[in-house]
Amino acid sequence: MALNRNLEANEGNRASYAALLASQRHTEAATFDDSTFETVWLRTRKTALFRTILNEFVKKNVFVYSANGWPQDAENVQDAVRALAIEIRSGTGTSNSPSWVFVACSETLDPREVLSSVKDTFPNTANIHCITSCQGVTTDVGFKSTSCNDGVVRALSMFTVFDPLGAFSTIAVRPPEDPSAITVFDKTLDQAYLKLRESALDVLKDPSNDGKKVPGPEPLAEHLNIWMSGLPGTE
């Protein structure tokens, strides 16, 4: 009853909601009554509540953390990766695997071994982006490089993203140097986007694009963050 009395006292608001609904439905006129206004009001309240809950979820569950440097007591890549992973888990207070990992290593390390070790350490992380550097790694806490007892300079850094609601996709391709290679590059990007789309929230996807082999316009495509790395000369 309190709601009905409030509705009667806000005829101006009701008219504005009616105009909004009419424009959304692409009609020239709309039949509007108290029940319709009540539906819109409840929908607005639900949207506000959803945003509040989402904001609280993001604050508690979405974060980034980095661990940098080759530990002096590390005897191999596995030891170094394990030590950085322990630092990440200790710093975040969670045993969950990151949603995405960016790892950089010096050229004195085998990137395939580094990638394999990171996969073994975070088995539930599907997307890992690994790059090599000449002598060290520039991080959020400065340049990291360690001269080990055997005289070899080693460096390792991991940047982790924890985002249960996020969607991630990682690809690796050769630089396109001719028209045919550019076509392959474009198709690879399309496939990566469609893979990304599989784990994206429904609110970011246009249902009319479901089943398409080529991406179409939708909110997800308009809110992408793309992280690219390449060999010198291919940037």
156-162 and 100-106 beta bridge pairing: antiparallel
Q: How far apart are CA 139 and CA 118, in angstroms?
A: 18
Q: Residue 18 pairs with which residues in a beta bridge?
A: none
Phi then psi dihedrals of residue 188, to 5 deg = -65, -40
Sheet holding 156-162, edge to edge: 63-68, 156-162, 100-106, 127-133
The secondary structure of residue 167, as a DSSP letter, is -
pTM of the full predicted structure?
Answer: 0.68
Q: For the range 178-187, what are the long-range contacts, defined as Cβ-Cβ under 8 Å and sequence gap of 24 or more? A: none
Q: How far apart are CA 29 and CA 134, in angstroms?
A: 67
Secondary structure (3-state) at 218: coil
Tens of pLDDT, residue by residue, the chain (235 residues) = 333 333 334 444 444 434 444 444 444 444 445 556 566 666 777 777 777 877 787 777 888 999 988 888 888 999 999 999 999 999 998 888 899 999 999 889 999 999 999 999 999 998 999 988 877 787 777 787 778 888 888 889 999 999 988 888 888 887 777 888 888 888 888 888 888 888 888 888 888 888 888 778 888 888 888 888 877 776 6
Q: How far apart are CA 87 and CA 82, in angstroms?
A: 9
Q: What is the CA radius of gyration of the chain?
A: 25
